[in-house]
Structure 1
């Protein structure tokens, strides 16, 4: 369907024969895979000590040093969320929740690094970019090149799904920050 602003996308209910994935879907795939790889790799650093990471012991010591209570449990929880949330983003599985997990994790990372300025070496630009990317994916949805397309509940992504996921990520991040010393 055409409009004054270009082509209007039809929902699967309106379009009896959905076409092949388009540039929008391929672009979302690229964004999901890139964010997913970054998150999964950071999680693997924490969980397994891969890629030069400190493993759970090093992550626990870091979390303790920046004021998280139950640092061991928080280290494990963060490592699992980052690893499996990243993998879920890569394949497009439960994308709004996976993106919300990345968003909430990055909000916590931003709060830990707050005061270091925007640019490197201890800046916030990396964490802010990842948080914005995660929120954008949650709001936009996974595109048609995702496992979510085969799940009846998530087949037709709605802005409300994404907004709820972003709000959930922010809420959980806020609760975690409230218990941080």
Structure 2
């Protein structure tokens, strides 16, 4: 039996770059999670923005937002559609992952608030929205893994927990402000 220290590998001082290594199972797992969440959210955004995949487009989504009590419903439809599309594509690429994840999570906080009271389980409940929101939060906190564009960006080569926490807080604060604007 190996010790926990041997399983975890050598400890590094904070800020010390991680040496380059081949992709591990967790990098592939994070890629699969990013693809699943990112493509799902990008498709939902395309429904809102363009009416693709059976969506309502800006007009239909705007009507839903009006019925849900949002002021300037078409503007909120555009913001939600862009947040979902760009956040989703950011997750797919592993590009600015903490911010992409925050955009997805923040949008879903609003979706959860709108559906609140319908129970937990689908189709009226919030389980789907909660699962995607928490998956996005997990990606913000863990980072995208090494199979990501972030790996090639200065300052994002090695994920820092503080970036993820800051992004999640930003997403929740913006979501809360948005919810305060609802009637």
Query: Which category describes the TM-score, using the shorter chain as reference length?
Result: over 0.9
- Superposition map of 1:81-96 within 5 A: 81-96=83-98
Where does residue 144 of structure 1 map in the other structure?
146
Where does residue 122 of structure 1 map in the other structure?
124
- Structure 1's unaligned 5+ residue stretches are none
Distance 1:173 1:82, change over 3 A: same
Q: Distance in 2 between matches of 1:45 and 1:10?
A: 46
Where does residue 7 of structure 1 map in the other structure?
8
TM-score (norm 2): 0.93
Partner SS, residue 175 of structure 2: helix
Cα RMSD for the two superposed structures: 1.6
1:154 deviation in Å?
1.1
1:80 deviation in Å?
1.0
**1:159 corresponds to 2:131:** no
1:75 deviation in Å?
0.4
Q: Distance in 2 between matches of 1:77 and 1:64?
A: 14
* Number of equivalences: 179
Would you say the 8 A contact 2:17–2:158 is kept in 1?
no
1:58 equivalent among 45, 57, 60:
60
Where does residue 49 of structure 2 map in the other structure?
47
Would you say the 8 A contact 2:102–2:167 is kept in 1?
yes
1:10 deviation in Å?
6.1
- Deviations for 1:37-74, whole angstroms, at most 9, x for unmatched residues? 01000000001100000011000000000000011110
